[in-house]
Structure 1
Amino acid sequence: MKKWTDVDTAVASIHDGATIAITGSGGGLLEPDALLQALERRFLQTGHPCNLTVVHALGVGDGQGSGLGRLAHAGLVRRVIGGHWVWSSAMQRLAEAGEIEAYSFPGGVIATLFREIGAGRPGVITRVGLRTFVDPRIGGGKLNEATTEDLVELVQIGGEEYLRFKPFKVDVALVMASSADDKGNLSVRHEPADLDIYAVALAAHNSGGKVIAQVKRRTDAYVPARLVRVPGILVDTTVERQAQRQCAVSEYDPSLSGEALAEVGDDDEKQTLDVMREIVGERAARELGRNQSVNFGFGFPGAIPEILRAQGRRADYWGSVEQGIHNGSMLDGAMFGAARNADAILPSVDQFDFYSGGGIDVTFLGMGEFDAEGNVNVSKLGSTVVGPGGFMDIAQGARKIVFCGAFEAKGLKVARHDDRLEIVSPGSFPKLVKQVRHITFSGVQARLDGKEVIYITERAVFRLDPLGVTLIEIAEGVDLHRDVLSRMEFEPLIADHLLQDAAH
């Protein structure tokens, strides 16, 4: 029989200097927030535990203080290794101020690293991240001057370059599940995603550490073996939290957890898109062929499924996201990573294997800024740490990459009149820059790998060619020199037909 206890007693076992691995994704997916809240409360009352290392693959929190935000106190945390930071502005500020050691690695690499740690293997050896900010030749994933230890190294195998993300000991895993029985068997049967819960638990258990699970209910009934995601042998302590929600938008919806189908009409699925996202999304949708395996990223690309639905093209593709969801009615915004009526829900670790091995034909990803080399930055905007999430893992494996975003930032407003674009007011900051601040996607590596890469904005479309970035299309109503070339910080190559049109 496993140990059941209250939440404060559970976290009291966490010692100073411990390395903690956390499950979770934005919108409250598998987020052990009661445990994190109790950990914060204990630190504020006693000053312990302190100097923790916190590791998480995807974003954890709601942006309003939950999740990773509970731990955002100087002294409580010494080091954070995160895949996605945007759901805790307080933790972002600690990293920006240099008050903690801060690393950002690809989300899929971190999730896989948990598995490799648990399996006793020598870390993750991968091509994901080559010639980006996680490559030790560029920065090794370090986000500030306080961060000095090298956690990733460049290696050669068979004459090819790879990155090796080093393993480390995990002292405590904090996980969330739907239920547990008296043997400690955890089920996530009522959750919208499995994420990396098994890998996180495995890493802690096989490191000699502890697994603390937060569950909605304790059950005396038999849990069907096929529904156990983490066997009780891995679990040390369990906390019942009856107030636990399935996610931010639902107390419990079986269509989100894949237990039942819901009637979803056109009005239920329809999203209201602003004109910018609609213009970019419609142009991006033209890059999709028939019967393709597709990934949609966060931000601008989140509008594309709605556009394809409205066009009657849902049957043209098999869609998936890194949280492990296949098909269904994908949710957007804070609930990105969940879907109603999904066809399949896999562990995110398995999903990342699918991606990094080349399982998708085309991915649609957001872009913060891009430069003359074709590099894209989404991971550090200004001094703000964002992190790549699954962006880098997905881009590395995809055959075709379509980046989607606005041409400029801050203040840009556009209108559409039939097929003509009007730039109502320009943006204050360029996004097509001489050199990106952070290389989240390497144009050099993409050319070496023979990737097809397209960059789509509301007024212009570019392609990555062997000699550099080429402007291949401008919107009706847009002037080539006034609205495009003069608003960029670099000179792109220009397709012949655009030069001919400009001459006339």
Structure 2
Amino acid sequence: MAQRITAEEAAALIQDNMTLGVGGFGAYAAPDELLSALAERYERLGSPRALTAVCGISPGSNRPDGRGLARLRAPGLLDTVMAGHFANPPEIAELIGTNQVAAYALPLGVMLHLWRAIAGHKPAVLTHVGLGTFADPRVEGCKANQKTRAQGRDIVELVSLDGRDYLAYKTFPIDACFIRATWADEDGSLSMEDEGVGDYAAELAAATHNSGGIVIAQVRGIVSRGSLPPKSVRVHHPMVDYVVVNTDPALHMQSYAAQLRPELSGQLRRPTDSIPPMPLDNRKLIARRGALELRPDCLINLGIGIPSGVGVVANEEGIAQRITLSLESGPQGGVPVEGAGFGSAVNAEAIYTVADTLELYDGGMLDLSFLGAAEVDCHGNVNVSKFGSRCTGPGGFVNISQNTKRVFFTGTFTAGGLKEEVRDGRLVILQEGRSKKFRRQVEQITFSGDYAVKSGQDVTFLTERAVLKLTPDGLMLTEIAPGVELEQDILAQMEFRPLISPELREMDHRIFQASPMGLTL
């Protein structure tokens, strides 16, 4: 039976040099009361020091507001971060980028499957995920900075089985974890009714418990023993050591975008005609071009930012009911939330656990994926995870991009000050971006074009002014926007010259009209 304690008492259980698992998924489900108490204890006593924080998607806001894992930013508190993604909070990304904290960036699915393997006392996770990318030990071996490389620790090895290459990611013990739930019963069983994403609290709790560690849960409140429906119990009380009841609602928000939106947690449904349409800007042009690729009954993953607009356009066009959108955070179906609330969906049909979702992705369940692309090179390699000293980690990007049948990378053609408008059905470039995104060489390989070609993937790059396909001979330009000059607006804005299709054509003119495109499926 779990013991009820205060957040301050929970913080006192964390000792120097521990490996601490931290739940939460970006803006969602952060155990902020526990993290706040731990930070306050460190400020007061100088202990615990030199912690290794282990996260899936590290909890935090996309602004430097000190929430989530950023509460542990004080010098000396953290030594190492192991996570699928740590751009949010930006304070932690800065510590990693300035070499103050070591960091291992793992594909999100690998991290969650590691937790399951830790719980099962298995030595490693054996998978193809990450081959040819920064995670491959022949490239960077998941090491995010020089401080990490100086540790001399290798967390992934290349192995061969039946003549094929795989990566073996090594398991490790977890000494304690902070997780969050909606309710705990008097025994300590946990439910997640108010959470807007599929959780991985069960995986983290199991890994910690079976490592001989301490499992501490932050909850909204306590309910009577036996009052939680058995199917709603996500973490059973034998795995939970301590329960902390939230005392400040600001430290127990559904997400950093809202205290509670019940249409995100499946507790009610919201009319989708209340979702506003996108303005006709370059983001919408890209989303519309992506929407032209939709097919009836296809299962689609949408990344954050521009890719999520494909779902909004599908809703505008009245075809959202003919497709199923899937987010790696668990929601299946519905309309993905944009902005600070990204990761959840309005009116989801189902909410899987994150680990189950990514396992299905690894096996090729997705028909289409629309993902972002910060840098692309002539080989079709894509970088979304490292920019100068700023290292963000890949999130679920590697699991998704390596294993989807048809992958569409989306983004504006250039970046940094780019100004464009649509005028009379044509794209007008008012001010070119300062930074080229099609580079001779990407800074980090988050997606391997060579691996994709060998795997037979169908890979396309969608921008507001051009469409390119990945071929065995490199990138091929296949479409350009009406109003765009080939040499000046496309080729001169690339650091390499792509192949040009002998059937080069203009992008569909409906993309550039003010009214809906009239899509049917």
Match of 1:407 in 2: 413
**Deviations for 1:242-265, whole angstroms, at most 9, x for unmatched residues?**
422222333333322113x33324
| CA distance in structure 1 between the partners assigned to 2:196 and 2:105 by the alignment | 25
TM-score w.r.t. the length of structure 2 is 0.93
Match of 2:133 in 1: 132
Match of 1:26 in 2: 26
The runs of 5 or more residues in structure 1 that have no matched partner are: none
| CA distance in structure 2 between the partners assigned to 1:206 and 1:60 by the alignment | 23
| CA distance in structure 1 between the partners assigned to 2:492 and 2:260 by the alignment | 52
Structure 2 CA distance for partners of 1:465 and 1:265, relative to 1, 3 Å: closer
**Residue type of the partner of 2:371?**
L
Match of 1:294 in 2: 300
| CA distance in structure 1 between the partners assigned to 2:384 and 2:280 by the alignment | 21
**Deviations for 1:434-461, whole angstroms, at most 9, x for unmatched residues?**
0000100000000010000000111111
Asked if 1:227 is matched to 2:227, the reply is no
- Alpha-carbon deviation of 1:271? 4.3
Match of 1:208 in 2: 212
Structure 2 CA distance for partners of 1:68 and 1:336, relative to 1, 3 Å: same
Asked if 1:253 is matched to 2:261, the reply is yes
| Aligned residue runs from structure 1 range 267-282, under 5 A | 268-273=274-279, 275-282=281-288
Question: Which SS does the other structure have where 1:396 is aligned?
Answer: helix
- Alpha-carbon deviation of 1:143? 1.2
Over the matched positions of the two proteins, sequence identity in percent amounts to 39
Task: Choose 244-253 or 224-233, whichever is displaced more.
Answer: 244-253
| CA distance in structure 1 between the partners assigned to 2:449 and 2:272 by the alignment | 41
CA contact (8 A) 2:312 2:335 kept: no
| CA distance in structure 2 between the partners assigned to 1:410 and 1:263 by the alignment | 36
**Deviations for 1:298-323, whole angstroms, at most 9, x for unmatched residues?**
11101111111111111331111001
Asked if 1:46 is matched to 2:54, the reply is no
Match of 1:193 in 2: 197
Asked if 1:175 is matched to 2:182, the reply is no
| CA distance in structure 1 between the partners assigned to 2:197 and 2:316 by the alignment | 26
TM-score w.r.t. the length of structure 1 is 0.96
- Alpha-carbon deviation of 1:274? 6.0
| Aligned residue runs from structure 1 range 66-81, under 5 A | 66-81=67-82
Match of 1:98 in 2: 99
- Alpha-carbon deviation of 1:499? 9.9
Structure 2 CA distance for partners of 1:103 and 1:7, relative to 1, 3 Å: same
Match of 1:336 in 2: 342
Task: Choose 159-168 or 285-294, whichever is displaced more.
Answer: 285-294
Structure 2 CA distance for partners of 1:7 and 1:370, relative to 1, 3 Å: same
**Residue type of the partner of 2:360?**
F
**Deviations for 1:317-347, whole angstroms, at most 9, x for unmatched residues?**
1111001101123211111111222110111
| CA distance in structure 1 between the partners assigned to 2:255 and 2:280 by the alignment | 26
Asked if 1:115 is matched to 2:116, the reply is yes
Asked if 1:427 is matched to 2:433, the reply is yes
Asked if 1:157 is matched to 2:134, the reply is no
| Aligned residue runs from structure 1 range 448-463, under 5 A | 448-463=454-469
CA contact (8 A) 1:35 1:174 kept: yes
CA contact (8 A) 2:286 2:411 kept: yes
**Residue type of the partner of 1:2?**
A
Question: Which SS does the other structure have where 2:469 is aligned?
Answer: strand
Task: Choose 344-353 or 489-498, whichever is displaced more.
Answer: 489-498
**How many pairs align?**
497
| CA distance in structure 2 between the partners assigned to 1:389 and 1:180 by the alignment | 29
Question: Which SS does the other structure have where 2:93 is aligned?
Answer: helix
CA contact (8 A) 2:56 2:85 kept: yes
Task: Choose 149-158 or 189-198, whichever is displaced more.
Answer: 189-198
Question: Which SS does the other structure have where 1:255 is aligned?
Answer: coil
**Deviations for 1:90-126, whole angstroms, at most 9, x for unmatched residues?**
1111111111111111111111111111111122111
Question: Which SS does the other structure have where 2:503 is aligned?
Answer: helix
Task: Choose 438-447 or 303-312, whichever is displaced more.
Answer: 303-312
| CA distance in structure 2 between the partners assigned to 1:376 and 1:240 by the alignment | 44
**Residue type of the partner of 1:255?**
E
Question: Which SS does the other structure have where 1:147 is aligned?
Answer: helix
| CA distance in structure 1 between the partners assigned to 2:279 and 2:354 by the alignment | 28
Asked if 1:487 is matched to 2:502, the reply is no
- Alpha-carbon deviation of 1:193? 2.3
Structure 2 CA distance for partners of 1:265 and 1:496, relative to 1, 3 Å: closer
| CA distance in structure 2 between the partners assigned to 1:396 and 1:303 by the alignment | 22
CA contact (8 A) 2:184 2:190 kept: yes
- Alpha-carbon deviation of 1:297? 0.7
Task: Choose 137-146 or 285-294, whichever is displaced more.
Answer: 285-294
| CA distance in structure 1 between the partners assigned to 2:107 and 2:69 by the alignment | 17
**Deviations for 1:260-308, whole angstroms, at most 9, x for unmatched residues?**
x333241x21244460101111111112222211111111101111111
Question: Which SS does the other structure have where 2:370 is aligned?
Answer: strand
Match of 2:392 in 1: 386
Match of 1:56 in 2: 55
| CA distance in structure 2 between the partners assigned to 1:107 and 1:116 by the alignment | 14
| CA distance in structure 2 between the partners assigned to 1:118 and 1:273 by the alignment | 48
Q: RMSD value over aligned CA atoms?
A: 1.4
CA contact (8 A) 1:57 1:111 kept: yes
| CA distance in structure 1 between the partners assigned to 2:92 and 2:420 by the alignment | 34
CA contact (8 A) 2:23 2:180 kept: yes
CA contact (8 A) 1:59 1:389 kept: no
Q: 2:370 aligns with which of 364, 369, 382?
A: 364
**Deviations for 1:181-214, whole angstroms, at most 9, x for unmatched residues?**
1211011122112321100000000000000000
| CA distance in structure 2 between the partners assigned to 1:109 and 1:397 by the alignment | 13
- Alpha-carbon deviation of 1:76? 0.5
CA contact (8 A) 1:330 1:336 kept: yes
Q: 2:270 aligns with which of 263, 266, 276?
A: 263
Question: Which SS does the other structure have where 1:497 is aligned?
Answer: strand
Question: Which SS does the other structure have where 1:203 is aligned?
Answer: helix
| CA distance in structure 2 between the partners assigned to 1:486 and 1:295 by the alignment | 32
**Residue type of the partner of 1:26?**
G
Task: Choose 158-167 or 55-64, whichever is displaced more.
Answer: 55-64
**Deviations for 1:221-251, whole angstroms, at most 9, x for unmatched residues?**
5211111000000000110004222223333
Match of 1:439 in 2: 445
